[in-house]
Amino acid sequence: MSKLKKIVFLLVIMIITLMTVTVGAAKIPDSWSNFKSAKEMNITRFNQSPVLDEKVKSGELPPVEDRLPVPEDTMVIEPLEEIGEYGGTVTSAAIGPASWADGSCYLPFMMYVNEDLSKYVPDILKGYELTNKNKTLILYLRKGLKWSDGYPFTTEDIMFWWEDTAIHPEVNHWTQWGWKTDGVNPKFTALDDYILKIEFPEPRPLIVKQVLSWWKSEQNFFFSPKHYLKQFHVDYNPEVKKIAEEKGYGTWVQYFEDKREIGPGQQNADLPVLGPWMLKERNSTEKVFVRNPYYYVVDTEGNQLPYVDHWVIKFKSDAEVAKVDALQGNIDFASRILTASE
């Protein structure tokens, strides 16, 4: 594997590992259990991929320092082996077009569990407090964190998920159940754009473990881009029922759910995301992702991640075909298909 391919592969694995426990035989840096901010690391200059330079020059994108959260809240990741190089394409494989063996199922969580399962590490969140005898949860968001289209990510996006999706009488999404206590809803209150209070009727000492530190806290399971999705929601757009019918949907809720779906089954390339990758296009044979220019993470030299320009996921008929392609050098990795030794 070439040096660039190796660096690219390790950085993809690094991002994926934030939501997993181990990466083959790689030694996970101790700093991954206690991320520091750019301010704490004395990083004052930030860098971006050269492919974004022209977009900044033309005014299509703001400068990289304006796309990141404030320095106190910009997350710094120590690379597994060395600082990477910008550029290149990583190719992976999946069994079919919407398989959970597809690496795109790895979305950032609010928090995750560190390697030895001893600590909850903030990711999208900056931090949290569980007070009032475990009945009040306070969440602190990263100031200046933005969606992939540049719109601010705030407590409104969590409130939209809760009020207009999870407990909405027509949408009534099942993700509400992780937050209920003996069938009773908690009270969600946005104290400001970056602080959210959740009050439970009874103590919930395990709420971080049960919900906030795994997939129940990812996009659509705990937050959604209100500024984008409200156009497909009947409470904000009364015409959406007619539009949904014209497009062949049985209900406006089906239309809404289709527009907000993320992960392996995502069809909507316009959906804003928070993770390192944005879906650019998909067809019957592959999906193509490009970097999120507003991703909130940098390396220890202030280089905004990810390093890779494109991530292509090739659809394969079965695991054996994927393994043969890997041996022939046609794919770089196959999440949940190939083992580390393969």
3-state per-residue secondary structure call for 282-332? ECCCEEEEEECCCCCEEECCCEECCCCCEEEEEEECCHHHHHHHHHCCCCC
**Distance separating the N- and C-terminal Cα atoms of the chain:** 14
Per-residue buried b or exposed e for 67-87, using 16+ beta carbons within 10 Å of the residue's own CB: bbbebebbbbbbbbeeebebe
Per-residue pLDDT at 18 exceeds 60:
no
Tell me which of 59 and 329 has the higher pLDDT. 59
Closest CA to 311 of 107, 2, 13, 12: 12
What is the C-alpha separation between 293 and 240, in angstroms, rounded? Answer: 31
My answer on whether omega of the bond before 264 falls inside 30° of 0, hence cis, is no
pLDDT at 102 (0 to 100) = 67
pLDDT at 26 (0 to 100) = 59
pLDDT at 337 (0 to 100) = 72
pLDDT at 146 (0 to 100) = 98
Query: Which of 89-93, 228-232, 294-298, 320-324 has the weakest average pLDDT?
Result: 320-324
pLDDT at 19 (0 to 100) = 38
Per-residue pLDDT at 3 exceeds 60:
no
Per-residue pLDDT at 340 exceeds 80:
no
Q: How confident is the model at residue 329 (pLDDT cuts 50, 70, 90)?
A: confident
pLDDT at 13 (0 to 100) = 42
pLDDT in tens, 61-112: 999 999 999 999 999 999 988 999 999 999 988 888 877 766 666 789 999 8
pTM for the whole thing?
A: 0.89
pLDDT in tens, 115-147: 777 889 999 999 999 999 999 999 999 999 999
Query: Are residues 178 and 200 in contact, defined by beta-carbon separation less than 8 angstroms?
Result: no
What is the C-alpha separation between 342 and 331, in angstroms, rounded? Answer: 12
Q: How many helices (H) and strands (E) does the chain have?
A: 9, 13
Query: Which of 158-167, 208-217, 271-280 has the weakest average pLDDT?
Result: 208-217
In this structure, the strands spanning 89-95 and 310-316 are parallel
pLDDT at 335 (0 to 100) = 66
Considering 84-93, 174-183, 205-214, 230-239, the range whose residues carry the highest mean pLDDT is 230-239
Query: Are residues 183 and 177 in contact, defined by beta-carbon separation less than 8 angstroms?
Result: no
Two tokens at 114? 């560190």
Average pLDDT on 200-225 reads 94
Average pLDDT on 163-172 reads 96
Q: What is the mean pLDDT of the chain?
A: 89
pLDDT in tens, 30-68: 888 888 999 999 999 999 999 999 999 999 999 999 999
Per-residue pLDDT at 21 exceeds 60:
no
Closest CA to 188 of 215, 165, 216, 213: 165
pLDDT in tens, 216-270: 999 999 999 999 999 999 999 999 999 999 999 999 999 999 999 998 889 999 9
pLDDT at 8 (0 to 100) = 43
Above pLDDT 70, what percent of the chain? 89
What is the C-alpha separation between 274 and 165, in angstroms, rounded? Answer: 19
**Look-up of token digits 């070439």:** 2
